[in-house]
């Protein structure tokens, strides 16, 4: 697998591939009568211009291994769950580039 050149919070126009971009972040209230909680969904994309899906698959697997059930710390919150709930790899631009996507869910409670 090639070295990931950068991690972005947007999809850059002329970035050197491969790279990872944090695409969408959505937070929903998940409070109960006894806890102040939330669920945060994050979509992370990886982009590669290598022929075939191999490099993209390797990047997605590394992201999965690093984030699924990870022990994260967010100031003021107790993290109760970190799960990868979906992965996808697709050819883009007629197969000239490949995009891998993971959807991460983080469940947290305010402390």
The CATH code of the domain that includes 74 is 3.30.2000.30
In a domain, 95, yes or no: yes
In a domain, 1, yes or no: no
DSSP for 56-92 reads HHHHHHHHHHHHTT----BTTEEEEEEEEEEEEEEEE
Burial, 62: exposed, middle or buried (Cβ in 10 Å; 0-12, 13-18, 19+)? Answer: middle
pLDDT at 24: 95
Express each pLDDT in 70-103 by its tens digit: 999 989 999 999 999 999 999 999 889 999 999 9
CB atoms within 10 A of CB 37: 17
Q: What does the mean pLDDT of the chain come to?
A: 93
pLDDT at 2: 56
Express each pLDDT in 9-35 by its tens digit: 988 888 899 999 999 999 999 999 999
In a domain, 2, yes or no: no
**Contact in structure between 64 and 107 (CB atoms under 8 Å):** no
In a domain, 92, yes or no: yes
pLDDT at 14: 87
pLDDT at 13: 86
Bond preceding residue 18 cis, omega within 30 of 0: yes
In a domain, 57, yes or no: yes
Domain span holding position 32: 7-110
Question: What does the alpha-carbon distance between residue 55 and residue 39 come to, in Å, rounded to a whole number?
Answer: 30
pTM: 0.88
Q: Structurally, how many domains does the chain consist of? A: 1
């Amino acid at each position: 697998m090639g070295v990931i050149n950068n991690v972005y919070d947007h999809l850059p126009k002329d970035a050197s591939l491969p790279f990872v971009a944090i695409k969408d972040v959505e937070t929903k209230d998940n409070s109960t009568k006894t806890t102040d909680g939330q669920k945060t969904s994050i979509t992370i994309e990886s982009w590669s211009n290598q022929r075939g899906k191999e490099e993209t698959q390797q990047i997605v697997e590394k992201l999965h291994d690093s984030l699924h059930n990870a022990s994260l710390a967010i100031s003021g919150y107790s993290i109760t769950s970190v799960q990868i709930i979906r992965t996808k790899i697709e050819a883009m631009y007629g197969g000239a580039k490949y995009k891998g996507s993971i959807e991460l869910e983080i469940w947290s409670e305010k402390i």
